[in-house]
Structure 1
Amino acid sequence: MKIVVVGKGGREHALVRALAESPSAPELFCFPGSDAIFQIARPVAAEGLESLVEWMEVHEIDLCVAGEESYLVKGEGLANLCEKAGIPCWGPHFQSAQLEASKEFAKQFLERHGIPTAKASATADLAEARAAIAGRYPTVLKFDGLAAGKGVAVCMNEAEGEAFLDEVFTQQRFGPGRVLVEDFLTGPEVSIFAAIVDDQYLVFTPARDYKRIGEGDAGANTGGMGAVASRQLIPAELLADIQSGIVAPTVAGLRKDGLPYRGFLYFGLMLTPQGPKVIEYNCRFGDPECQAVMPLVKGDLAEFCLAGAKGELKPDLISFDEGWSVCVVLASAGYPESSRNGDVISGLDHPAENRVYHAGTRRNPAGEWETNGGRVLAAVAGGATRQEAVAAAHAAADQISFDGAQRRRDIGILHFQD
């Protein structure tokens, strides 16, 4: 089996490694990839989406796995182009990927199908946004398009709200777009991942990520500074309620609206006093949750994704470890406002039982690993208990160093009672 994974970050590194460990032993390729990924998968000689699909046709690729969300909504969409070429794709069509690409589209979908979510108003400019907020803080502001995990601001006061609105409407940091003004919800967050094949689905191991840069959930929002994953993360009864009240209605809504879906769907949930509510959808695996979840997946992920892309859900091909997995992210100097590249990384030799996924690294001319992005690495370890996994993951992160490194030492500890 020949598989192409599309993307270049830590999530894709985790997916590539999980696919490589499949008993079916697929031949792996990646586009655009990274120096770390190319230690496992071979590079693809393509310059864009269309040439990528042409390359896959020529090389008789059996499966395309969408890792990075942007390719799902570029041009005609990765899955749409693959379908035209007769290549099975594990990733949704362009029209379905609007669940992530447009916060407004997602909110309308949720409301139309009666799926629990916060109330919100769509605004087109600064004046409309201010009028929708009407001085009510805290509030949640969401840029309508893709923003690499940085287009959402939880604003506790007017100063924070005005700063985000300035970024969006005046500076246009994320490009032109609208803003969703959403009610502020309270409660712990949880990430649920479902593999969806038409009208069927399989829920993977739940996870929780840590979005703020500082310990104690202080400071600016990031793409994620770490994650913890386990089947024990939430009670089985609550997971059953989430499946019946959120996952199943979403799958039914996709079918009712004529939105083709074969691939991973991420449900970002808030466990409010009134019950679970959807904060957001992502049309792929989460990052860094993927890095925490993948080591818990057992069986043949490659065959599972191939069967799903062809329209058959085969849950018997995979199983899930009942233990815990903890992911600790190391970020570069200046992140999340900026990132510093070129700092040499040491300590990447690690025990086989631990994993280090590369998100923003490269090889320099001397052959050393150096920083090349905001979130640089993720140190991941597991254990039968959360405490064991926490200790092992932080011990693995302790071995790694580079100038300006930023890291949270409460990953896997905050939100839990030891």
Structure 2
Amino acid sequence: MDRKRKVLVVGSGGREHALCWKLAASPRVGEVLCAPGNAGIQRHARCVPVGATDLDGLVALARSEGVDLTVVGPEAPLAAGLVDRFQAEGLRAFGPARAAARLEASKVFTKDLMARAGIPSAGYRVFEDLGAALAHIAGIETFPVVLKADGLAAGKGVIVARDRGEAEDAARLILEARAFGEAGRRLVVEDFLAGEEASFMAVTDGRTVLPLATSQDHKPVFDGDRGPNTGGMGAYSPAPVVTPAVFDAVMERIMRPTVAFMDREGCPYRGVLYGGLMIQEGEPRVLEFNCRFGDPEAQPILMRLRSDLMELFEAAEAGRLDEVRLEWDPRAAVCVVLASKGYPGGYEKGKVIHGLEEAAAMEDVMVFHAGTAMEDGRYVTAGGRVLGVTALGDDIQEAIHRAYQAVERISWEGMHYRTDIGAKAARHLGG
């Protein structure tokens, strides 16, 4: 084998911890850097205090450190054009260019693209004027409806309105109060899609589309999918709702056509393409696209990946993805997110975390850090989503049991988590 690579991972959450952990295990990798990283990532990578959207700082870091490949975790630096900037500087980066990242950065761009490409999704209307939006809502006869801020809102810019009053309030919140900032400059009002959600991720080099293991996220903050949406409260893989027939339909009707259409449009998509799907009676439709690994879906997916992650990223970046075959652990994986009290609203930081070592020492368990810091030699909370406790099991029930066994060993003041992660999968399988 030729010399070992130096890899830079951009980001600071649980997804980035999982990426650093998996890349550090690659025989191709000599060192992993993470900018800015977090307290847990330090175990697998050298953390450098450069922000994820500090494009100048990241370019300087990659150049000074002789980084061979930069892997971009979150959506914000992709939408800001980090990959374009790296390519202009002669540096290698894995992820979509800014124009392609509009698939996540702009709901309007994506809805228009899907309409033109014939990708199955919900009917929609776009508004910039509150009066026009309210007039449209007044004429809606069937509820619920879905209202979305056009731009990036950390996974929280989507509101499901159960009646006309809620829809009017949501429109005012997005367009008038600008609760999601500039993301709310435009409003998308969508038909509601019934069914069961699933996350479908694939790696693409712009031509070849290589699917990853299926997964399912849990967005609402409380059990039973109640409460406001979050960045994700837990995930599992595989997702039984994605049957072999559904899997084939997603690839043939959604993933491959989307990548091919963008290529024809002169906007090739390279990186991770994430389809947030709604599946009803075996028919998949797109709720949204993301332009990176899901968080927390990345955690159970990477726990199950047996192949070399660095080989996958290098092949995708170089346009050689057709040469790659992925191998998966047949076992199931479950990730339970531990969050701060009050999340996704306001929350306190600096709470001392207990039991980390005991949980991490369990067999087939990884505790991925998201919002943590180190103070006086102790791990403390530093974010809304703090940890992603992820476990493997021979089946989904065993993975659920093991993950929650590990969760029980961890505590801090105000710790909150859902107790039903994986329950949908268990029901599918008769558990």
TM normalised by structure 2 equals: 0.93
Cα distance in 2 for residues equivalent to 1:231 and 1:173 = 33
Change beyond 3 A, Cα 1:159–1:292: farther
1:52 match: secondary structure: helix
Could you say which residue in structure 2 is the equivalent of 1:289?
297
1:56 corresponding residue in structure 2 = 62
Deviation larger for 127-136 or 257-266: 127-136
Shift, 1:104, TM fit: 0.2
Could you list the per-position Cα deviations for residues 68-124 of structure 1 after superposition, in whole angstroms to 9, with x for gaps in the alignment? 1100122xx111011112222110000000010000000011011000000000010
Q: Secondary structure at the match of 1:29?
A: strand
Equivalent residue, structure 1, for 2:343: 335
1:362 match: 373
In structure 2, which of residues 202, 209, 215 is the aligned counterpart of residue 194 of structure 1? Answer: 202
Q: For residues 249 and 116 of structure 1, what CA distance do their matches in structure 2 show?
A: 11
Answer yes or no: is the 8 Å Cα contact 1:358–1:377 preserved in 2.
yes
Asked if residue 158 in structure 1 is aligned to residue 164 in structure 2, the reply is yes
Tell me the amino acid that sits aligned with residue 400 of structure 2: V
* Identity across matched positions, percent: 41
Alignment partner, residue 403 of structure 1: 413
Provide the C-alpha distance between the structure 2 equivalents of 1:214 and 1:416, rounded to a whole number of angstroms. Answer: 18
Give the deviation of 1:220 after TM superposition: 1.3
- Cα displacement (A) at 1:171: 2.3
Cα deviations across residues 266-302 of structure 1 (Å, max 9, x unaligned)?
0000012482100000000011111111101112111
Residue aligning to 2:13: 9
3-state SS of the aligned residue for 1:253? helix
Q: Residue type of the partner of 2:67?
A: I
Asked if structure 2 preserves the Cα contact closer than 8 Å seen for 1:330 and 1:378, the reply is: yes
Most deviating of 115-124 and 217-226: 217-226
What is the CA distance between 1:32 and its match in structure 2?
1.8
Structure 1 residues 415 and 325 mapped into 2: Cα distance closer, same or farther (>3 Å)? Answer: closer
Q: Equivalents in 2 of 1:394, 1:315: separation in Å? A: 38
Could you give the per-residue CA deviations for residues 298-324 of structure 1, whole angstroms, max 9, x where no partner exists?
A: 121112201211221155463112221
* One of 389, 393, 409 as aligned partner of 1:379: 389
Equivalenced residue count is: 415
Aligned counterpart for 1:239 among listed residues 247, 260, 270: 247
Letter in 2 for 1:411: I
The amino acid across from 1:44 in the alignment is V
Which residue does 1:250 correspond to in 2?
258
CA distance in 2, matches of 1:267, 1:252: 15
CA contact (8 A) 1:14 1:291 kept: yes
2:123 corresponds, among 115, 119, 124, to: 119
TM-superposed CA distance for 1:169, in Å, is 2.2
Work out the CA distance in 2 between the residues paired with 1:281 and 1:266: 6
Alignment CA distance shift 1:212-1:26 (3 Å): same
CA–CA distance in 1 between the matches of 2:353 and 2:72?
29
Alignment match, 2:90:
86
**Cα–Cα, structure 1 residues 338 and 207, in superposed 2: closer, same or farther, change >3 Å?**
same
Q: Note if 1:40 corresponds to 2:48.
A: no
Deviates more, 1:148-157 or 1:43-52: 43-52
Deviation, 1:203, is 0.2
Change in 2 beyond 3 A, CA 1:315/1:217:
farther
How far off is 1:150 after superposition? 0.3
Secondary structure, in 3 states, of the residue corresponding to 2:113? Answer: helix
Q: Which amino acid aligns with 2:408?
A: D
Cα distance in 1 between the residues matched to 2:212 and 2:28 = 21
Partners of 1:373 and 1:128 lie apart in 2 by 38
Work out the CA distance in 2 between the residues paired with 1:126 and 1:315. 51
- Residue by residue over 1:221-242, the C-alpha shift from the partner in whole angstroms, topping out at 9 and shown as x without a partner, is 1111111111755221210111
Give 1:384 deviation, angstroms.
1.7
- SS of match in other structure, 1:299: coil
1:372 to partner: Cα distance: 0.9
Give the Cα–Cα distance (whole angstroms) in 1 for the partners of residues 369 and 86 of structure 2: 27
Map of 1:220 onto structure 2:
228
In the alignment, what sits opposite 1:95? 99
Give the distance between the partners of 1:225 and 1:51, measured in 2 at CA: 31
The letter of the residue matching 1:50 is D
For 1:357, give the aligned amino acid: F
Amino acid of the residue matched to residue 139 of structure 1? V
Instruction: In structure 2, give the amino acid aligned to 1:235.
Output: T
- Letter paired with 1:414: K
Q: How far 1:215 sits from its partner (Å)? A: 0.9
Describe the superposition over 1:185-210 as per-residue Cα deviations: whole angstroms up to 9, x where unpaired: 10001110010112111000011111
CA contact (8 A) 1:301 1:317 kept: no
How far apart are 1:414 and its partner, in Å? 3.5
Distance in 2, matches of 1:314 and 1:57, equals: 30
Give the match for residue 169 of structure 1. 175
Structure 1 counterpart of 2:110, which letter? Answer: A
Which one is further off, 224-233 or 56-65? Answer: 224-233
**Equivalent residues of 1:26, 1:302 under 8 A apart:** no
Mean Cα deviation higher: 131-140 or 7-16:
131-140
**Which of 29, 32, 38 is the aligned partner of 1:28?**
32
Q: Which 10-residue stretch deviates more, 293-302 or 312-321?
A: 312-321
Q: Which among 344, 348, 360 is matched to residue 356 of structure 2?
A: 348
Query: Larger deviation: 50-59 or 350-359?
Result: 50-59
Question: 1:232, 1:322 within 8 Å by CA — same for their partners in 2?
Answer: no
What secondary structure, in the 3-state scheme, does the structure 1 residue paired with 2:15 have? helix
Q: CA deviation at 1:51?
A: 2.4
Larger displacement relative to structure 2 (3-12 or 273-282): 273-282
1:259 and 2:289 equivalent?
A: no
CA distance in 1, matches of 2:416, 2:284: 32
Aligned partners of 2:215 and 2:379: how far apart in 1?
29
Cα distance 1:231–1:189, how it changes in 2: closer, same or farther (>3 A)? closer
CA distance in 2, matches of 1:179, 1:274: 30
> Which of 177, 185, 191 matches 1:183?
191
What is the identity, as a one-letter code, of the residue corresponding to 1:360? G
2:151 maps to what in 1? 145
- Inter-partner Cα distance in structure 2 for 1:329 and 1:55: 31
Is residue 202–residue 315 contact of structure 1 (8 Å, CA) maintained in 2? no
- Does the alignment pair 1:107 with 2:111? yes
